């Protein structure tokens, strides 16, 4: 009996160790390539972790300073990059990042603002609304802003004690959002054990403008999230399963699971093209590098590989084609966490460093 119990425990421990080794991507290697010429837009902020594109303005809004949530010294805030190349600006001005001022309207926790995930809503009358996740470990919330040219006016915040590791959000209407909470534990060894056991305690929340509810419980480490408004499909990335989950969004905003795309890389940020429905993914392809990088973000010799995938959903909706427009070993951009594509331009954000801009020379085959 003792021998039988020993071998059962040995098998369980072996399976656990093998599962961890597979999750850490110890067998992977990244080969650098780009879709065209690339340039660094900025590297003075410790993190450009969130991006959103507003078509009517030709602006990409960028969250700055995510590294502060990992005890790095950096300025935090929101800026924008103008993608319009036909407005007569000089070559230098075309690559400028413009910081925005924030009117907090008396909000008492403004000094705890560390923005990360971001999305936007443009109304028919020209009103632009931004929704931003605050990653401060002591004050995880979602902030609502209205854009006034180069200023932001704070409208309200949504906070809850269940918010332990907010990651990303996507807008489905004015003040209506889906967003991800990656794990039951915020960080540290408790979160590591949770990921290793793959207990699936992540959650997708839905906020309807006044009430908070759980849209999808027990999701395995949900990260990036994006919404295809034409097909009414919600995409959710899974860090540990290295996959993309697809949900059909009903009229009452409930979710019906459709399928899971296995990516063999950990998705962090999503961007869904409004016209084509293509899904762009900023990913961490080698997870053990990412884990070491997040533990030591200040060390310049510690990098995490970056990767961008493009998924073209076919017309019938149940098949897709995946390409890899960009990959880097971390020397140029480390830990890619956000992506925007527009007009043959690709902008890539990172967790603790640079914002990268690439021109796509052959976007139709990229």
Binding site for Ca(2+): residue ranges? 118, 168
Q: Which residues are annotated as a binding site?
A: 118, 168
The answer to whether 329 touches 342, Cβ cutoff 8 Å, is: no
Length of the chain: 366
- Angle between helix axes 2-23 and 189-197 (nearest 10 degrees) is 110
The answer to whether the Cα torsion of 234, 117, 98, 106 is positive or negative is positive
The answer to whether 114 touches 135, Cβ cutoff 8 Å, is: yes
For residue 343, is it left (φ>0), alpha (ψ between -120 and 50) or beta? Answer: left
- Do the bridges between strand 243-249 and strand 255-262 make them parallel or antiparallel, or are there none, so unpaired? antiparallel
Tell me the backbone φ, ψ of residue 201, rounded to 5 degrees: -100, 10
Q: Which of 108, 101, 100 is nearest to 82 (CA)?
A: 100
The answer to whether 214 touches 160, Cβ cutoff 8 Å, is: no
Q: How far apart are CA 33 and CA 331, in angstroms?
A: 12
Q: How far apart are CA 31 and CA 80, in angstroms?
A: 31
Report H helices in the chain: 2-23, 189-197, 287-295
Q: Which of 268, 272, 261 is nearest to 285 (CA)?
A: 268
Q: Which of 168, 281, 175 is nearest to 219 (CA)?
A: 168
Q: Which of 78, 51, 64, 88 is nearest to 345 (CA)?
A: 51
Structure tokens at 279: 């899904």
Q: Which whole-number Å values give the CA distances from 20 to 8, 15, 16, 24, in the listed order?
A: 19, 9, 6, 6
């Amino acid at each position: 009996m003792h021998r039988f119990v020993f071998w059962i425990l040995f098998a369980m421990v072996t399976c656990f160790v093998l599962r961890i080794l597979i999750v850490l991507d110890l067998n992977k290697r990244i080969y650098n390539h780009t879709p065209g010429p690339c340039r660094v837009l900025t590297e003075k902020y410790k993190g450009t972790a969130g991006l959103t594109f507003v078509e009517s303005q030709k602006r990409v809004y960028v969250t700055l300073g995510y590294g502060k949530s990992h005890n790095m010294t950096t300025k935090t805030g929101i800026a924008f990059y103008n993608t319009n190349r036909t407005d007569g600006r000089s070559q230098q001005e075309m690559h400028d990042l413009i910081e925005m001022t924030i009117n907090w309207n008396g909000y008492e926790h403004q000094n705890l603002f560390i923005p990360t995930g971001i999305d936007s809503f443009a109304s028919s009358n020209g009103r632009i609304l931004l929704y931003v996740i605050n990653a401060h470990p002591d004050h995880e919330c979602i902030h609502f802003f209205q854009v006034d040219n180069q200023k932001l006016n704070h409208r309200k915040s949504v906070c809850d004690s269940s918010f332990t590791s907010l990651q990303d959000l996507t807008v489905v209407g004015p003040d209506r959002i889906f967003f991800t909470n990656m794990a039951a534990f915020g960080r540290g060894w408790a979160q590591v054990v949770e990921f290793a056991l793959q207990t699936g305690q992540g959650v997708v929340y839905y906020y309807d403008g006044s009430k908070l509810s759980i849209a999808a419980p027990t999701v395995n480490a949900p990260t990036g999230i994006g919404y295809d408004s034409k097909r009414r499909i919600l995409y959710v990335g899974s860090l540990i399963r290295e996959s993309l989950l697809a949900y059909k969004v009903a009229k009452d905003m409930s979710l019906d699971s459709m399928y899971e795309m296995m990516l063999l890389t950990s998705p962090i940020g999503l961007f869904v093209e409004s016209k084509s429905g293509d899904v762009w993914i900023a990913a961490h392809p080698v997870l053990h590098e990412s884990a070491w990088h997040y533990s030591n973000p200040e060390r310049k010799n510690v990098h995490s590989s970056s990767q961008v995938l493009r998924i073209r959903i076919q017309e019938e909706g149940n098949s897709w084609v995946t390409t890899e427009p960009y990959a880097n070993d971390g020397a140029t951009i480390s830990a890619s966490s956000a992506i925007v594509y527009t007009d043959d331009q690709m902008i890539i954000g990172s967790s603790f460093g640079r914002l990268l801009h690439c021109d796509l020379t052959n976007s139709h085959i990229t």
